[in-house]
Amino acid sequence: MSSSSSTHCRNISDAQNYRPVEDLFRIHLSEKKRARRILEQCLWKVFRPLFHQAMRSKELSLELQDMIVSRHRSGKAYQKMQH
């Protein structure tokens, strides 16, 4: 019995540390906008590399194409194959 009563008291003290659900709906609109903006910024930092991955790979492929063409024109590609 003592363990259940101590658990009950602990739950009451824990519940006092949290805001009631009704208070969550009373948050000012500016606070909601600020929280949303912070969340969007965090998500953008995390997922931005995934969105730009296609562009980055395209740029790299263009750079590689330029390098291949320049090596072909200079003859360096053929010299490297002979070694």
Would you list the DSSP string of the chain? -HHHHHHHHHHHHHHHHSPPHHHHTTS-HHHHHHHHHHHHHHHHHHHHHHHTHHHHHHHHHHHHHHHHHHHHHHTHHHHHHH-
Give me the pLDDT at residue 17, please. 61
Name the residue ranges covered by the structural domains of the chain: 1-51, 53-83
Q: Which long-range contacts (CB under 8 A, 24 or more apart) does 8-15 make?
A: none
Higher pLDDT, 82 or 44: 44
Query: Whole-prediction pTM value?
Result: 0.29
**pLDDT tens digit string along 5-32?**
444 445 555 556 666 655 666 666 677 7
**pLDDT tens digit string along 55-75?**
555 666 777 777 777 877 777
